[in-house]
Amino acid sequence: MNAMLLEKVGAPLRMRDIPVPIPQPGQVLLQVCACGVCRTDLHIHDGELKNPKLPLVLGHQIVGIVAGLGAGVEALQVGQRVGVPWLGSACGVCPDCTVGHENLCDAARFTGYHLDGGFTEYTVANASYCLPLPPEYTDVEAAPLLCAGLIGYRALRMAGDARHIGLYGFGAAAHILAQVACYQGRTVYAFTRPGDHQGQRFALRLGAVWAGDSDMSPPQHLDAAILFAPVGGLVPVALRSVVKRGRVICAGIYMSPIPSFSYDLLWGERAIQSVTNLTREDGLAFFDMARKTPIHVVTERFPLREANTAMTALRQGQLQGAAVITPMS
């Protein structure tokens, strides 16, 4: 099969002809239909997330058709469509796992980081961590929901009943979350890279009531701010914009250093919180909600051989919505 391999951190992905993997006990073999491209893929490629498996197939927003079953797999069937998210496995027995926080498991393994992902024609995945997908979404539409959607959903839940929400970094996750928040009757304020007027118009089309540069103040104090941009300098900026008892939620897996700031920005019982990975329960709850919520997933498709082009477009902020690799195109 063809796969785009990361053979050295920082080097371009290389198209290689490698054997189709054999599913081990508890695993399924998947024919990959689509795989979203995530900023986490950039963090792994650039070495900001340490010690990836090498060589590695990136990609953790996988939509695939079950093509084979490993021993002991009974819950899935050949021909079934499933999604594979970032969380590839957890130990199931540690203190975090036993209280429903498998996202914090120290022994967790992650797709496209410790385990080969979806920038390929076939992959294997732990059957217990595959998610059923709503038929309302095509393969290409469903792929970004498996990380951009899930992480945004977990971040929104951390915002509680916040009515006025700021989204910093209006990319794949924010464009999905904005629609969910608006559907729930919340008011969304979008913050983009300075001067990104096209991105601001995009946010307004998706329901934001205001859109501006990330260093600007919104016209209304926010109840919560969700940061998707991996820029630590935005934390004190967001703190200035939230009300007392407001929350600043950092939704990325990596962020540049947060600069020092005066205590008065945190005063007033404001809080800073991170979002760490996701759980299978998040996935089930999110896709149940997605069946009932009209989400227009904006995508740009790239064939497998153009995975480097897709990653460059994401890195340079050239995308509206999400990049999706379609291996069979």
102-121 burial: b if 16+ Cβ within 10 Å, else e:
bbbbeebbbbbbebbbbbbb
Q: What angle do CA 246, 248, 249 make, to 5 degrees?
A: 130
- Output the CA–CA distances (angstroms, integers) from residue 92 to 96, 124, 198, in the order listed: 8, 20, 45
How far is residue 229's CA from residue 221's CA, in Å, rounded to a whole number?
A: 20
Q: What is the mean pLDDT of residues 68-79?
A: 97
Residue type, 248: V
Domains annotated for the chain, with CATH where assigned, are 2-144+298-326 (3.90.180.10), 149-274 (3.40.50.720)
Mention every residue, 6+ apart, whose C-beta is less than 8 A from residue 263. none
Q: What angle do CA 269, 169, 111 make, to 5 degrees?
A: 100
CB 124 within 8 A of CB 21: yes
Q: What is the pTM of this model?
A: 0.95
Neighbours of 60 (CB within 10 A): 26
221-260 burial: b if 16+ Cβ within 10 Å, else e:
ebbbbbbbbbbeebbbbbbebbeeebbbbbbbbebeeeee
Residue 33 confidence (pLDDT) above 90 = yes
Model confidence over 268-298: pLDDT tens digits?
A: 999 999 999 999 999 999 999 999 999 999 9
Mean confidence (pLDDT) of the chain: 97
Residue 320 confidence (pLDDT) above 80 = yes
CB 296 within 8 A of CB 290: no
The percentage of the chain sitting over the pLDDT mark of 90, rounded to a whole number, equals 98
Model confidence over 76-123: pLDDT tens digits?
A: 999 999 999 999 999 999 999 999 999 999 999 999 999 999 999 999
Determine phi and psi for 4, rounding to 5 degrees: -95, 115
CA-based radius of gyration for the chain: 19
Report the pLDDT value the prediction gives residue 329, as an integer from 0 to 100.
Answer: 75
Mention every residue, 6+ apart, whose C-beta is less than 8 A from residue 4. 13, 14, 15, 16, 57, 58, 119, 120, 304, 305, 307, 308
Model confidence over 169-207: pLDDT tens digits?
A: 999 999 999 999 999 999 999 999 999 999 999 999 999
Report the pLDDT value the prediction gives residue 160, as an integer from 0 to 100.
Answer: 96
Encoding tokens for residue 185? 């009757």
Encoding tokens for residue 78? 């050949």
Say how many residues make up the chain: 329
> Three-state DSSP class for 131?
strand
How far is residue 87's CA from residue 125's CA, in Å, rounded to a whole number?
A: 10
Report the pLDDT value the prediction gives residue 293, as an integer from 0 to 100.
Answer: 92
Going by the DSSP 8-state scheme, the letter that residue 20 receives in this structure is P
Model confidence over 242-274: pLDDT tens digits?
A: 999 999 999 999 999 999 999 999 999 999 999
How far is residue 97's CA from residue 115's CA, in Å, rounded to a whole number?
A: 20
Alpha helices by DSSP H, 58-149? 95-98, 139-144
Report the pLDDT value the prediction gives residue 40, as an integer from 0 to 100.
Answer: 97
Encoding tokens for residue 51? 């010690």
How far is residue 133's CA from residue 81's CA, in Å, rounded to a whole number?
A: 7
Model confidence over 113-150: pLDDT tens digits?
A: 999 999 999 999 999 999 999 999 999 999 999 999 99
Band the pLDDT of 328: cuts 50, 70, 90.
confident
Determine phi and psi for 94, rounding to 5 degrees: -75, 170
How far is residue 26's CA from residue 124's CA, in Å, rounded to a whole number?
A: 10
Maximum separation of any 2 CA atoms in the chain, in Å: 58
CB 108 within 8 A of CB 89: yes
How far is residue 125's CA from residue 148's CA, in Å, rounded to a whole number?
A: 19
